[in-house]
Amino acid sequence: MIRLEDVTKRFPGGQEALKNLTMSVDKGEMVFVTGHSGAGKSTLLRLIALIERPTSGQVIVDGRNTRRVTRRKIPAYRRQIGMVFQDHKLLYDRSVFDNVGLPLVIAGVSRRDAARKVRAALDQVGLLQKEKRNPETLSTGEQQRVGIARAIVSRPKLLIADEPTGNLDPDLSLEVMRIFRRFNEVGVTLLIASHDIALIDQLGCRRIPLENGTVKVEEDDDFIDDYAHEAAVDFERQPWR
Amino acid sequence: MALTRNTEAFVPAKPTGPVTRWALRHVATSVGALGRLVRQPFASLMTILVIAVTLALPAAMHLVIKNAQSLSGNWDSALDFSLYLKPGTSTEDAARLAELIRQRADVQAVTRISSEEALEEFKLQSGFGSALDHLSENPLPHTIVVRPAGRNTEQSMALMQEELGNLPETDFVQADTDWVQRFHAILDMLERAIAIGAGLLGAAIVVIIGNTIRLDIQNRREEIEVTKLIGASNGFVRRPFLYSGLWYGLGGGVLALVLVAYGMFALKAPVGRLAGLYDSSFSILSLSFEESLLTIGTGVALGLAGSWLAVARHLRRIEPR
């Protein structure tokens, strides 16, 4: 589903976010990208979402080389992918229902179909009762679930999430991960950037650990403690802000 | 569709052909944009008022010129022709000719001044008095003053002047239209000046709307980024702003007509009184249907142009980070 071949991303300042990264995610997999902040997790997801372009190397998504996705075709490309963000990126001038329905409005789905799909998506994240509320009146966990509902409302085959549990306490994080798990069970491919190692271990999914922009060879267990420390630091920095 | 918070939400039901779907989407977007303006009534009204005043100014000036033209048109057809007959034409021939002209359909009245009467009048008015008694013969010709009928146009007046000039007894025809023509030339010049002013004001409207839309884009920057992030095309993001510009222009055009109509209403009574004092049937002209449409159309076109400029300049630069 996702294949990166020898990808390097260098920013104008000369700083290298990704260095000769090669990795892949199969169809139907649920994979976590882990690593310190600055290890290149976000950059990786941004390359897949075409928010950034690689300096060199190939990014292939669903059999399509993103190099061939021109500027004009980016919107249609992004509509194929569900995206979840640490800071939700909801719009606070409209209801939960309208937030979740936005991708359908963009795609020009008819009103009746849209309403049905929005309710189905809200049902899946357990927020059917709150469709008329303004997202501002919801808790952080609920807001994140609205963001997830929006990401899956057009039934994408691929869902990418950048620190989806970054702002959540452990119980809510587990709840969000369970929701992701259920999508995975119905065939959605998921690529999730997270540093919550304990949580990931609980789920037993494959991990791609990044360090300094490339895949790190995993050695022992005590790096988990390192990550626990890093998680706290990351939480403070909120890299997506 | 009610103008609630959710107006931008969804295209109405019933899946139909792609053209209908496209049209419905535009209707939904335009209503959504209108809803946005209605939700900020004060700010929107201010913008619309500025546009209305800017549009009403040239429209009102145009009306002043138009009324002046129609007024001078009245004078034009009220002008008399003086028909000087050839020397040696007998008094009987002059009387017969006067009678002939009187029977024309496009003539209202005819006054005949015989050469004797003219000489008497000249003696009285010139002050030469008895000096003129020494003339062996009367140097003045017979004159027929022709007052054309009121319904004559400029063309039919010119034609009549030519026909009267071609009569065998006529020496020459004089119509004192010079000053009317000068007046028309002044009006033409003023009209040109107004057109130039209107062009400048139009540019001002483009700038005003462009700036309003630019601020709107800045205020909704986050929303634009998010919608682009989840797959909105540039067209999708652009549409509501273009419709805002359209609504501003339309609102401004309609309000401009209201302002002009109010001005006309306020002027009607004093103009009527003035016309009454001059025994004139002149009544003030308002904007015609076409002119009203043109005013509104200009507002809409300038609104679209302004928002298009703002959108082309500022929207492209907003990309998700």
Which has the higher per-residue pLDDT, B189 or A197?
B189
Q: Of A110, A148, A152, A160, which to mutate for an interface test with B (greatest number of B Cβ within 10 Å)?
A: A110
- Give A108's contacts in chain B (Cβ within 8 Å): 11, 21, 25
- Residue ranges of chain A whose pLDDT lies below 70: 218-241
pLDDT band at B1 (very low <50, low <70, confident <90, very high): very low
- Give me the residue label for tokens 């009187």: B102
User: Which amino acid is it at B299?
Assistant: G
Q: Tell me which H or E stretch contains B161.
A: helix B154-165
Which range among B77-86, B242-251, B282-291, B312-321 has the greatest average pLDDT? B242-251
Which segments of chain A are extended strands (E)? 2-10, 16-25, 30-34, 56-61, 64-65, 81-84, 158-162, 189-193, 206-211, 214-215
- Give A86's contacts in chain B (Cβ within 8 Å): none
Tokens standing for B103? 């029977």
Residue A241: predicted pLDDT: 40
Lowest mean pLDDT among B101-115, B141-155, B295-309: B141-155
Lowest mean pLDDT among B27-36, B49-58, B125-134, B140-149: B125-134
Q: Tell me which H or E stretch contains A79.
A: helix A74-79
B111 touches chain A (CB under 8 A): no
Cβ–Cβ of A110/B15 closer than 8 Å?
A: yes
pLDDT band at B114 (very low <50, low <70, confident <90, very high): confident
Residue B91 has pLDDT above 60, yes or no: yes
Report the alpha-carbon distance of residue A22 to residue A219 in Å, rounded: 19
Report the alpha-carbon distance of residue B259 to residue B262 in Å, rounded: 5
Contact between A14 and A207 under an 8 Å Cβ cutoff? The reply is no
The upper half-sphere exposure of residue B45, i.e. CA atoms within 13 Å in the direction of its Cβ, equals 5
Phi/psi for A233 (5° steps) reads: -65, -45
Residue A147: predicted pLDDT: 93
Residue B19: predicted pLDDT: 81
Residues 6+ apart with CB under 8 A from B170: B83, B84, B85, B86, B164
Quote the minimal CA–CA distance from B15 to chain A in Å: 6
**CA terminus-to-terminus distance, chain B:** 35
Mean residue pLDDT of chain A comes to 86
Residues 6+ apart with CB under 8 A from B244: B33, B36, B37, B212, B213, B216, B307
- Give B15's contacts in chain A (Cβ within 8 Å): 110, 112-113
Quote the minimal CA–CA distance from B55 to chain A in Å: 34
Tokens standing for B206? 């483009």
Cβ–Cβ of A108/B11 closer than 8 Å?
A: yes
Residue B150: predicted pLDDT: 67
Lowest mean pLDDT among B221-230, B282-291, B300-309: B282-291
User: Which amino acid is it at B191?
Assistant: E
Cβ–Cβ of B230/A103 closer than 8 Å?
A: yes
- Evaluate if pTM is beyond 0.80: no
Residue B5: predicted pLDDT: 44
CA distances from B232 to A29, A71, B227, B229, B236 (A): 27, 12, 5, 7, 6
Q: Of B4, B230, B318, which to mutate for an interface test with A (greatest number of A Cβ within 10 Å)?
A: B230
Cβ–Cβ of A75/B233 closer than 8 Å?
A: yes
Neighbours of B73 (CB within 10 A): 14
- Give A110's contacts in chain B (Cβ within 8 Å): 10-11, 13-15, 21
Quote the minimal CA–CA distance from B240 to chain A in Å: 12
Lowest mean pLDDT among A215-224, B171-180, B251-260: A215-224
Whether CATH 3.30.70.3040 fits B80-175: yes
Q: Of A73, A92, A102, which to mutate for an interface test with B (greatest number of B Cβ within 10 Å)?
A: A102
The upper half-sphere exposure of residue A26, i.e. CA atoms within 13 Å in the direction of its Cβ, equals 5
Phi/psi for B107 (5° steps) reads: -115, 135
Mean residue pLDDT of chain B comes to 83
- Give A103's contacts in chain B (Cβ within 8 Å): 230-231
Read off the pLDDT of residues B44-77 as tens digits, 9 standing for 90 and up.
Answer: 999 999 999 999 999 999 998 888 887 776 665 5
Cβ–Cβ of A76/B231 closer than 8 Å?
A: yes
Strand order of the β-sheet with B107-113 is B107-113, B143-148, B81-85, B170-175
Instruction: Count residue pairs from A and B with Cβ separation < 8 A.
Output: 80
The chain A residues in contact with chain B (CB within 8 A) are 49, 51, 75-79, 83, 89-91, 93-95, 97-98, 101-115, 150
Residue B188: predicted pLDDT: 87
Which residue ranges make up each domain of chain B? 40-74+182-314, 80-175
